[in-house]
């Protein structure tokens, strides 16, 4: 690991000020992603500003929404009564990720900002446009079993690894960020992460020095009919091959509203809007779920080793919707 | 030959302290001469000086905690104070040092193990402020003021923590490398269950005080990998402590009585 200066920030202002002032500075929260990447020499910050002690750890109700603090731990968020009651989908998604130890350390802000697990990104002896712009993409022609089937570009075919973010995408969360001079802005979840396009070095729309302060989730009527399904190489403690966050609002024999988001398939949590549009007003029946899933996957573009993800995602959508409808 | 040693001894006078040290080492007469001949009286003086200085420091209560490490130049040194197993510790570390390396290399607590060093195996699991965490992904500087419990802090004197007892009873290990992490993890799991925390395989909205199922314990322990595959016995050990469910142990340490086999009149 390369040497760095360390400083603990007490307030958002201190943290934002410290990072926006010096080029190579980075925030550190739980450290579960950043410390790992620093050991691998992928991240090389000159200074770390510790934001984990900033008082943004609450989960609270605010009008028609629940606001979760950026520094709250994943474990505390998933177990909070407000989250378990209103958004069991989010609790499930968080519990599906990593291990108990890691969830105890990981913060909500850090979870949104975690970087891809693409092995070429991690291996500094390999080309990777995300790590070093213009060096090439090792995965595109290399081993790409774990990679994207939606929204990739020739520059990068990586996927976003978070489970929590898949649920937040389905729940139409809003990310609150604060930048220099106390400027705040609200970023809708679907506009927070980005597709790689011609600059995969940028995972999301956060600007340098901006700190995520909280995530707002509007209350909804999905709590009784939602399910987070994660398909992986082993039963626990593995990143998703494909995951599905499914939520239904039923009105008698009809689907009044529906949300479907996929993980493990794109550079950002993938909202299955085609499937959603098809299902609104239909009956919550397996045949309809199958039609919707097929429609969504029609646009998928597989790479050399991940063609299996297309039928897998299709079936996973159907299974998650069936589970949610029960 | 003997004369030569004699010469050395005579040629360089030893101080009273050095004489005393040689006495304490039990070196007298011939063996003392032989020893001095091998190290040389000058060499012995250097050794004696260090030892005597350390003893004086000890007597004066100035115990150097980390003599060697403290002398190394640290690029970005940060002082951090936290409690380890109920004791206040204060160390100056390079900002890069992980909690795991601090425990092992600076505080002489080598129970926590370095497996993958990337958060993937759980061997370095310790309990910080009541929560199990990975010490390999925790920077020591972030631990200011925290309470850290390691495997060394679980037993009360000679009495093992019930989870340690259960691991022994059910032979919940083979090589033992992952065991400190497994046990710290399992101890924290008990509290998580008591607090009604959920997991991916529990109903997130259901009964919060229910006892954990086998699958639930497995899921909650998935962050601790055991390459020997002692999982079935780890599960049994945790079940016994968490659910009070005793299973007949299939294995146990032999007690002295068991080792003695009556053969005629003799005991072998
Ligand atoms: C072995 C292993 C397995 C894992 N498995 C899974 C899994 O299955 N599913 C899953 O979803 N995740 C998984 N994870 C990832 C884990 O969830 C993330 O590492 C964690 O959420 C990151 O949070 P953190 O607080 O530790 O972030 P840090 O490591 O502290 O920071 C990560 C990044 O976020 C930035 N940052 C942190 N906080 C803020 C903020 N408030 N505003 C702006 N930027 C910020 C930092 O500058 C840094 O760049 C796994 C991790 C490991 C090590
Ligand atoms: S897929 Fe993206 S992260 Fe992986 S090697 Fe290619 S550019 Fe790098």
* Strand pairing report for B77-84 and B131-134: unpaired
Same domain, B175 and B219: yes
**Helices and strands: H and E segment counts in chain A:** 14, 12
Q: What's the gap in Å between A114 CA and the centre of ligand 2? A: 15
B137 part of contact set with chain A, CB < 8 Å: yes
Q: What is the pLDDT of residues A207-222, one digit of tens each?
A: 999 999 999 999 999 9
Residue A231 lies in domain: 226-325
Closest ligand by atom to A130 CA: 2
Q: Is the domain of B10 the same as that of B106?
A: no
Three-state SS at B140: helix
Last residue of a domain, one of B40, B64, B88: B64
CB A81 within 8 A of CB A52: no
Which of helix, strand or coil describes residue B54?
helix
How is chain A split among helix, strand and coil, in percent rounded to 5? 35, 25, 45
In a domain? residue A289: yes
Question: What is the predicted pLDDT for the residue at B63?
Answer: 53
- SS3 at position A107: strand
The pLDDT assigned to B247 comes to 72
Of B37, B64, B91, the position where a domain reaches its end is B64
Q: What CATH number should be reported for the domain holding residue B131?
A: 3.10.20.30
In a domain, A292, yes or no: yes
Residues 165-194 of B with CB under 8 A from A: 185, 188-189, 192
> Has residue A6 got a pLDDT over 70?
yes
C-alpha distance from residue B170 to each of A311, B156, B176, B236, B240 (Å): 44, 21, 13, 7, 10
What residues contact A188, with CB distance under 8 A and at least 6 apart? A172, A174, A175
Q: What are the C-alpha distances in Å from B50 to residues A100, B21, B45, B147?
A: 48, 12, 9, 36
- Distance in angstroms (rounded) separating the CA atoms of residues A101 and A105: 7
For residue A35, give the CATH number of its domain. Answer: 3.30.43.10
- How high is the pLDDT of residue A80? 97
Q: Per residue of chain B (268 residues), give pLDDT as tens.
A: 444 444 444 445 677 777 777 677 667 777 767 766 666 666 666 666 666 666 666 666 555 555 555 556 788 999 999 999 999 999 999 999 999 999 999 999 999 999 999 999 999 999 999 999 999 999 999 999 999 999 999 999 999 999 999 999 999 999 999 999 999 999 999 999 999 999 999 864 455 556 899 999 999 999 999 999 999 999 999 999 998 877 776 666 666 665 555 455 554 4
**Are A84 and B204 inside 8 Å of each other by CB?**
yes
The residue of chain B nearest to residue A226, with distances taken between CA atoms, is B204
Q: Is A181 on the interface with B (CB under 8 A)?
A: no
Contacts of A190 by beta carbon, 8 Å cutoff, 6+ apart? A169, A172, A271
- Asked whether residue A23 is domain-assigned, the answer is yes
**pLDDT of amino acid B9:** 45
A253 inside 8 A of chain B by CB: no
Tell me the mean pLDDT in the region A148-154: 98
- Looking at the CA of A236, name the nearest ligand: 1
CB contacts of B224 in chain A (<8 Å) are 99
Q: Which of A98, A116, A164 to mutate to test the pocket of ligand 1 (most atoms within 8 A of CB)?
A: A98
Identify whether residues B76 and B148 lie together within a single domain: yes
Domain carrying residue B177:
162-266
Can you give the three-state secondary structure of B227-240, one letter per residue?
CCCCHHHHHHHHHH
Return the pLDDT at B69.
Answer: 52
- What is the pLDDT, as a whole number, of residue B244? 82
Residue nearest to atom 2 of ligand 2 (CA): A156
The residues, ordered by sequence, that sit 6+ positions from B5 with a Cβ below 8 Å of its Cβ are B33, B34, B36, B37
Are B92 and B171 contained in the same domain? no
Residues A251-281: tens digit of each pLDDT: 989 999 999 999 999 999 999 999 999 999 9
Residue nearest to atom 19 of ligand 1 (CA): A33
Which ligand number lies closest to the CA of residue A306?
2
pLDDT the model gives residue B168 = 95
Q: Please indicate whether residue A20, judged by its CB atom, sits closer than 6 Å to ligand 1.
A: no
Helix (H) or strand (E) holding B169: helix B162-169
Residue A237 included in any domain? yes
Gap from A4 CA to chain B (nearest CA, Å): 7
Task: Check pocket membership of A30 for ligand 1, CB cut-off 6 A.
Answer: yes
Chain B positions touching A4 (Cβ under 8 A) are: 76, 95-96
Ligand 1 contact via A94 beta carbon (within 6 Å): no
User: How confident is the model over A288-311, as pLDDT tens digits?
Assistant: 999 999 999 999 999 999 999 999
Total tally of structural domains belonging to chain B: 3
Query: How far does residue A200's CA lie from ligand 2's centre (Å)?
Result: 8
CB pairs under 8 A between A and B: 105
- Asked whether residue B185 falls in the same domain as residue B256, the answer is yes
User: Which residue from B96, B141, B200 is facing A95, i.e. has the nearest CB?
Assistant: B200
Ligand 2 first shell, C-beta below 6 A: A 116, 118, 120-121, 128-130, 137-140, 156-158, 200
Q: How far is CA B195 from the centre of its chain?
A: 29
Give me the pLDDT at residue A204, please: 98
Last residue of a domain, one of A52, A68, A83: A52
The CATH number linked to B228 is: 1.10.150.120
Domain count for chain A: 2
- What strands lie across the sheet with A65-69, from one edge to the other? A59-62, A65-69, A211-218, A174-178, A184-188
> Is the ipTM beyond the 0.85 threshold?
yes
Domain co-membership, B191 together with B260: yes
What residues 55-84 of chain A have any CB closer than 8 A to a CB of chain B?
A: 75, 78-79, 84
In this structure, the answer to whether residues B114 and B30 fall within a common structural domain is: no
pLDDT at position B17 is 73
Q: Are residues B203 and B227 in the same domain?
A: yes
Say which CATH number the domain at A274 has. 3.30.390.50
Residues B44 and B89 in one domain: no
Residue A286 lies in a domain: yes
Task: State if residue A57 touches ligand 1 by the CB under 6 angstroms criterion.
Answer: no
DSSP A181: G
B175 shares its domain with B244:
yes
pLDDT digits (tens, 9 = 90+) for A163-197: 999 999 999 999 999 999 999 999 999 999 999 99
Ligand 2 probe mutation, A115, A129, A133, A203, most atoms within 8 A of CB: A129
Q: Which residues in chain B touch residue A247, judged by CB atoms under 8 angstroms apart?
A: none
Say if A264 falls within a structural domain: yes
E runs forming strands in A254-293? 254-263, 270-271
pLDDT digits (tens, 9 = 90+) for A93-113: 999 999 999 999 999 999 999
């Amino acid at each position: 690991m390369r040497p760095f200066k360390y400083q603990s920030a007490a307030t958002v202002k201190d943290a934002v000020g410290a990072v926006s002032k010096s080029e190579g500075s980075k925030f550190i929260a739980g450290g579960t992603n950043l410390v790992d990447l620093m050991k691998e020499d992928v991240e090389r910050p000159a200074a770390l500003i510790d934001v984990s002690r900033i008082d943004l750890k609450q989960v609270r109700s605010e009008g028609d929404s629940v606001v979760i603090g950026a520094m709250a731990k994943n474990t505390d968020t998933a177990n909070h009564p407000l989250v378990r009651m209103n958004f069991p989908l989010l609790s499930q998604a968080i519990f599906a990720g990593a291990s108990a130890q890691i969830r105890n350390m990981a913060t909500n802000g850090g979870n949104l900002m975690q970087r891809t697990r693409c092995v070429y990104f991690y291996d500094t002896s390999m080309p990777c446009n995300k790590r070093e712009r213009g060096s090439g993409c090792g995965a595109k022609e290399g081993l790409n079993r774990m990679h994207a089937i939606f929204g990739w570009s020739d520059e990068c075919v990586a996927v976003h690894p978070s489970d929590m973010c898949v649920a937040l995408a389905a729940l139409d969360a809003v990310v609150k960020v604060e930048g220099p001079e106390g400027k705040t802005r609200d970023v809708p979840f679907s506009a927070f992460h980005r597709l790689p396009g011609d600059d995969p070095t940028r995972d999301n729309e956060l600007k340098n020095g901006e700190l995520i302060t909280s995530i707002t989730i509007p209350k909804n009527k999905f709590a009784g009919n939602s399910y987070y399904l994660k398909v992986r190489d082993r039963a626990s403690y593995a990143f998703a091959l494909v995951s599905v966050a499914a939520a239904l609002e039923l009105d008698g024999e009809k689907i009044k509203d529906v949300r479907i988001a996929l993980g493990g398939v794109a550079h950002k949590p993938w909202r299955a809007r085609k499937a959603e549009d098809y299902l609104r007003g239909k009956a919550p029946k397996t045949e309809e779920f199958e039609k919707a899933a097929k429609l969504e996957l029609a646009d998928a573009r597989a790479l050399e080793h991940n063609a299996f993800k297309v039928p897998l995602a299709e079936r996973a959508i159907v299974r998650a919707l069936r589970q949610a409808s029960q | 030959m003997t004369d030569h040693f004699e010469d050395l001894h005579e040629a360089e006078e030893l101080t009273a302290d050095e004489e005393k040290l040689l006495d304490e080492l039990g070196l007298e007469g011939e063996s003392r001469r032989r020893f001095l001949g091998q190290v040389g009286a000058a060499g012995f003086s250097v050794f004696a000086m260090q030892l005597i200085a350390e003893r004086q420091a000890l007597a004066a209560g100035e115990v150097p905690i980390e003599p060697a490490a403290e002398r190394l130049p640290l690029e970005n040194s940060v002082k951090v104070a936290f409690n380890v197993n109920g004791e206040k510790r204060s160390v100056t570390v390079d900002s890069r040092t992980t909690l795991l390396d601090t425990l092992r290399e600076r505080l002489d607590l080598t129970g926590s193990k370095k497996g993958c060093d990337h958060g993937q195996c759980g061997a370095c699991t310790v309990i910080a402020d009541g929560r199990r965490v990975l010490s390999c992904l925790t920077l020591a500087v972030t631990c200011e003021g925290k309470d850290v419990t390691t495997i060394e802090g679980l037993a009360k004197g000679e009495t093992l923590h019930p989870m340690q007892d259960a691991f022994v009873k059910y032979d919940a290990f083979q090589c033992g490398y992952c065991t400190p992490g497994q046990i710290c993890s399992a101890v924290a799991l008990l509290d998580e269950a008591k607090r009604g925390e959920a997991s991916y395989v529990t109903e997130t909205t259901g009964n919060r005080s229910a006892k954990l199922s086998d699958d639930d314990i497995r899921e909650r322990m998935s962050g601790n990998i055991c390459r020997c595959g002692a999982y079935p016995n780890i599960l049994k050990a945790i079940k016994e402590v968490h659910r009070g469910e005793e299973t007949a142990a299939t294995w146990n340490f032999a007690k002295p009585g068991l080792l003695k086999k009556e053969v005629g009149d003799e005991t072998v």
